Amino acid sequence: MAIAAQAPDILGERQSGQDVRTQNVMACQAVANIVKSSLGPVGLDKMLVDDIGDVTITNDGATILKMLEVEHPAAKVLVELAELQDREVGDGTTSVVIVAAEFLKRANDLVRNKIHPTSIISGFRLAMREACKYVEEKLAVKVEKLGKDSLVNCAKTSMSSKLIAGDSDFFANLVVEAVLAVKMTNARGEVRYPIKGINVLKAHGKSARDSYLLNGYALNTGRAAQGMPLKVSPAKIACLDFNLQKTKMQLGVQVLVTDPRELEKIRQREADMTKERIEKLLKAGANVVLTTKGIDDMALKYFVEAGAIAVRRVRKEDMRHVAKATGATMVSTFADMEGEETFDSSLLGFADEVVEERIADDDVVMIKGTKSTSAVSMILRGANDYMLDEMERALHDALSIVKRTLESNTVVAGGGAVEAALSVYLEYLATTLGSREQLAIAEFAEALLIIPKVLAVNAAKDATELVAKLRAYHHTAQTKADKKHFSNMGLDLLNGTVRNNLEAGVIEPAMSKVKIIQFATEAAITILRIDDMIKLMKDESQNEE
């Protein structure tokens, strides 16, 4: 008689097989359903209230998901997916989550029909490769063909689903101007557009259309003292990351003083050390000093006397951008190898002028004519905080999209055109395969249609009819050589018709679509692979000993 081996006691619960898969898919569907209604030019916004009552109104997929505290481990994969898309491309965060959830739903149905997850995964991988190849070879259009308008159109497409869609003409031009202003060529001779050099400042009051571009990098703080000059040119900038306050003894240092006069000397020396540091800065030629920490009122008088501008409590992020743009080096200590304190003039950055200006009710310090990369600032105006925050998020997406378009130089038609074309193409491809992957690829093709479907539903149009029309056009485009231009057919959601979106100016960078497909597939595969979930409980008995 065989004795069953005693299973080790796992403290916790274990679920395996189909249960886990269904549970994971349900969790991902739930996350996708939250962002679903915010997709497209007529998408709706979400109002998120956090635990302390702060309100955020947005329809940016990544922002919504970041603010939801998602507990479920599989659903967390989708949240990370949206963040990844945000980092890599900057826009398309809602689409990527919806597509990934749809892939999962379809894959789960296949598994239920006794198709092994491994076959599905290899089918999805094959479909992803083919889809990306098809986008790059057949659907992508070079930007040169479309001219500068294409950049404005890309920005408008990106903004169409956002709060500022009504003023998208105005903002799109603003965005394109800002991105072109920070153009630079790196050491390898590649042209790059570091959009981090575009600082976005928000100021209350006036209407959104009163927003404008300023040439120069704006710091959201004023001068440290009123006696300082309003303008310094040419500017030599020192970027510091330490306190210019009276140096205090380090903790744990004990000084035994027998004579009270000695105490006064120690105090004097503490004050002098800061003075010496400031003199070193001024001697090196610095006439603008930015620090992330504080500057003592005692120390400010030295700057006032020298006619230099000092700015305290500059945000670290701003400091890094200023250092990069002016060619300065951020200094966190004056100490050198010999234990002496020195400051070399090679650490200074250069700009044509540094000037304090008044914007709305705030003083800002503008750094103009920076040396290594040019910097611009966007000053956003708007009625209230929520609007300004949402404008900033929308502009971040638009700036990223214009940058990607310029760097990759290829665009595709938007409004569900790419997804419909891929769906038709992959469905045909699936029928040419005689392997198990056929079913997975057919489902992959079907899943891509979720984008035009959701777009149509959000626009209160008949999704079934529109998607059917769209597929008919794309089928014609791929079977008849003289109807190639039909491959740019996408949805016109305001009128509820199908039109050529490339001509209508609804375009997106090809790279954005490729990344959406790649990331969504990878995320779906990651979750599909899971067939066992073990939740461990804390072992109580050990705590009692």
Domains of the chain: 217-373 (3.50.7.10)
Express each pLDDT in 47-71 by its tens digit: 999 888 888 888 888 888 888 888 8
Check residue 145 and give its pLDDT: 67
Tell me the two tokens of residue 187.
Answer: 């050491």
Report, as an integer, the average pLDDT of 239-245.
77
Q: How confident is the model at residue 127 (pLDDT cuts 50, 70, 90)?
A: very high
What mean pLDDT do residues 312-338 have? Answer: 79
Whether the per-residue pLDDT at 321 is higher than 90: the answer is no
Q: Say if residue 282's pLDDT is above 60.
A: yes
**CA dist., res. 358 & res. 379, Å (int):** 12
pLDDT for 345 beyond 60: yes
Distances (CA, A) of 408 to 101, 183, 199, 416, 473: 28, 14, 23, 21, 28
Strands 198-204 and 191-192: unpaired
| pLDDT computed for residue 525 by the predictor | 92
Question: Taking 80 as the threshold, does the pLDDT of residue 298 lie above it?
Answer: no
Percent of the chain topping pLDDT 70:
93
Selected residue with higher pLDDT from 98 and 180: 98
Span 89-104, pLDDT tens digits = 888 889 999 999 999 9
pLDDT band at 304 (very low <50, low <70, confident <90, very high): confident
**Rounded distance, CA 417 to CA 489, Å?**
6
pLDDT at 147: 67
Across the range 475-492, mean pLDDT stands at 83
Supply the pLDDT for residue 445.
Answer: 92
CA–CA distance, 47 with 515 (Å, rounded to integer): 28
pLDDT at residue 10, as a whole number: 58
Contacts of 75 (CB under 8 A, 6+ apart): 27, 28, 30, 31
Q: What span, in angstroms and rounded, lies between the C-alpha atoms of 28 and 496?
A: 30
Whole-number pLDDT of residue 450: 92
Q: What is the pLDDT of residues 488-534, one digit of tens each?
A: 888 888 888 888 888 888 888 888 899 999 999 999 999 888 888 88
User: What local confidence, expressed as pLDDT, does residue 125 receive?
Assistant: 92
Active site residues: 60, 93-94, 397
**352-380 exposure pattern, b = at least 16 Cβ within 10 A, e = fewer:** eebbbeebeeeebbbbbbbeebbbbbbbb
Looking at residues 280-293, what average pLDDT do you find?
Answer: 82
- Which range has the top average pLDDT, 180-184, 306-310, 362-366, 412-416? 412-416
Distance of CA 538 to the CA centre of its chain: 38
Token digits of residue 5: 């081996």
Per-residue model confidence (pLDDT) at position 97: 92
Chain mean pLDDT for the chain: 83
Alpha-helical runs (H) found in 40-167: 61-67, 73-88, 93-112, 117-134, 143-146, 149-159
**What's the confidence (pLDDT) of residue 543?**
56
Q: What gap in Å lies between CA 178 and CA 199, rounded to an integer? A: 10
pLDDT at 262: 77
- Chain segment 424-477, per-residue pLDDT in tens: 999 998 988 888 888 999 999 999 999 999 999 988 888 899 999 888 989 888
Residue 129 has what pLDDT? 92
Quick check: 385 pLDDT over 70?
Answer: yes
- The predicted-structure confidence for 5-49, as pLDDT tens digits, reads as follows 555 565 677 777 788 888 888 989 998 998 898 888 888 888 999
pLDDT of residue 255: 73
